[in-house]
Structure 1
């Protein structure tokens, strides 16, 4: 038996650090990835998609947001979609799941709102054991009932839960919605599919987090999501075969400690970012932590190559810090030997060299003055 394991779609999520155009594109991608999941299921011959919670970002989405993922699942009537509530969309009275139930769901979409073994595939004797969050945070392990859940002999027992495996991640996270790390073994599960962690993580041979199918956070390495899992079960006692498949459209990268001291550094940074996805840099979001010291000419290169051209090439360029301007009295000769502009530049340079917050403001102003003067093409007097 094959099925798709996914989680943490978080439809309706917003990102405050991007402009409106990029925000709209990211939100559309979170919806479009549902189609990718359906196509992946067809490609792999998987009749079921199991969604381990957090289908929605908020407990009170608008009517349009509420129905958008449902309508995309409806487009795959040959695939059965199984959903459970997560901590972002817990099954509360008059919450998202109650609203959907009142309006009716397509025959191929099932929301599991109560714990209990459910036959989902008679041909394979496969039973789903869902853990159901009724509140955003609970302190008890909602997978505990699975140990005693009755199913026929040799059944494929598939657990589905949203929470934090005890001992995995930070202590604060583990306090809420805990999941025993050996639950699959205790409950005789062929597989336990988890949601809440946004990157792929395999806990043991029969337990894994799928991660979100569309990446939603910056990482310095891997593990940032953008994947779904194809699970192959070859019997109740055999370990599952877990295969990772890329589903996401966007790539998120964080580059720490980017130090720029020369034009060569700037060009190398530009090439590094463009090489992340050479054929489609518009699918890349990058967060740079920048520092360094650049001369007047190189600062102009930085403005042109990074702040203008590279920023226009990628989906989002998020910056922390900036290179500082390295300028001396000899650089002021660009403004000529005298005049009001030269006098202003001398005052700014003096204040910049004094340091402090006021000095940084003066350095920034002097940098803008140099760049403006260069753009205007004013010759030295």
Structure 2
């Protein structure tokens, strides 16, 4: 039996830090990745796709959002898609799953809501044993009934659940799953959802992670993938291979800038995250340091360029102005230079608020002088 394991699609997720244009693209790709998962399954000859919860990001999506993932899965009638409810889309009365039942699911989509085992493929060689959630948080183990779940003799038993086998750094753990559930329940494989990064718990227990990375803390732990699982038989060791299906790269970086070489090095580093597809890269950058006025202008030019190249550039902090005698040469002679000298002096001493105001004024003055020089050059 060969199938694809995925989870945590989070369709309808809101990215509050992004502008409207970026938000729209990120939300769209959470749908488009479903097609990439389907094509991955076809390319590898998989018979089914198991989705371990959190198809949706919240419990009350609008009708269009409700239907969109269903329509994406409908486009793959040769694959059987097995779904369970997660903590973001629990099977509560009058909720998402009742609405989907009223609409009617295509024949190739099975929502496992009652906890009963069901055939995973037409031949019945493998059976899904579901452990979906009926509330956002439950005190009991959602996989506990898998131990006694009855399936025909000699079939491959695939558990499908949503919850946490460990805290993953969180102070409060809900929907706790026994870490040895696969062994206890005689499972050939336990497909888990909830953790958005890919995780191997043991040879029979995996988190697939979200197929489209959705945060800057997910870039380094295998998010953006789906798992192709091969099971030669009920007792065979699973062969699990990870395949990238996500479109975006999320990257956190930091830099201390003290000279223009530092700016060039930072730009080179960020442009080479994905040099062929910079528009697929989101960067959260933390900056500190001190630069001359000319250095600050070079830094701003770099931000303007990268902000246009990358899908998103989010910046925390900024280098301060370290006044330099050569900076005044940018202003020529006369009243403008005299004003710049006063601002430069105030930017280098006194209360922080005064320094910030003086620095901003000095940079604006430099931009005005530069624009004037450009116009003169164009006229000549």
1:55 is aligned to 2:52: no
User: Does the 8 Å contact 2:343/2:362 carry over to 1?
Assistant: no
CA 1:337/1:220 → structure 2, altered by over 3 Å: closer, same or farther?
farther
Matched with 1:291 is 288
Q: Out of 197, 202, 208, which is 1:199 matched to?
A: 197
CA distance in structure 2 between the aligned counterparts of 1:170 and 1:104, rounded to whole angstroms: 39
RMSD over aligned Cα atoms? 2.0
TM-score using structure 1 length: 0.93
**1:202: how far off?**
0.4
Pair 1:164 & 2:161 matched: no
Equivalent of 1:252 in 247, 250, 253: 250
Per the TM alignment, residue 251 of structure 1 is displaced from its structure 2 partner at its CA by 0.7
Deviations 1:204-246 (A, max 9, x none): 0100100111111114862151100001011111221110000
Q: Higher mean Cα deviation, 362-371 or 130-139?
A: 362-371
Gaps of 5+ in 2: none
2:191 aligns to what SS in structure 1? Answer: strand
TM-fit CA distance, 1:335: 3.6
Task: Give the Å deviation of 1:330.
Answer: 5.5
CA contact 2:297–2:363 (8 Å) conserved in 1: no
Q: Is the 8 A contact 2:278 2:310 kept in 1?
A: yes
Aligned to 2:84: 84
Inter-partner Cα distance in structure 2 for 1:57 and 1:263: 44
Match of 1:209 in 2: 207
**Equivalent position to 1:356, from 344, 352, 362:** 352
Question: Residue in 2 aligned with 1:375?
Answer: 371
Q: For residues 270 and 343 of structure 1, what CA distance do their matches in structure 2 show?
A: 32
1:345 offset after TM fit, Å?
A: 5.5
Q: Distance in 1 between matches of 2:175 and 2:358?
A: 51
Q: Does the CA contact (< 8 Å) of 1:200 and 1:223 recur in 2? A: yes
Deviations 1:253-288 (A, max 9, x none): 1113x1112221111111111111111111111111
Hey, what's the Cα distance between the residues in 2 that align with 1:69 and 1:317? 29
Residues 1:141 and 1:365: Cα distance change in structure 2 (over 3 Å) = farther
TM-score by length of 2: 0.93
How many residues of Structure 1 are paired with residues of Structure 2 in the alignment?
Answer: 375
- Which of 254, 263, 272 is the aligned partner of 1:275? 272
For the Cα contact (< 8 Å) 2:198–2:206, is it kept in 1? yes
2:83 and 2:89 map into 1 onto residues whose CA distance is: 11
Gaps of 5+ in 1: none
Matched residue, 2:142: 142
**What does residue 315 of structure 1 align with?**
311
**Structure 1 residue 16, shift from structure 2 partner:** 1.6
Measured in 1, the distance between the counterparts of 2:367 and 2:37 equals 49
Residue 342 (str. 1) matches residue 341 (str. 2): no
Is the contact made by 2:292 and 2:324 (CA closer than 8 Å) also made in structure 1? no
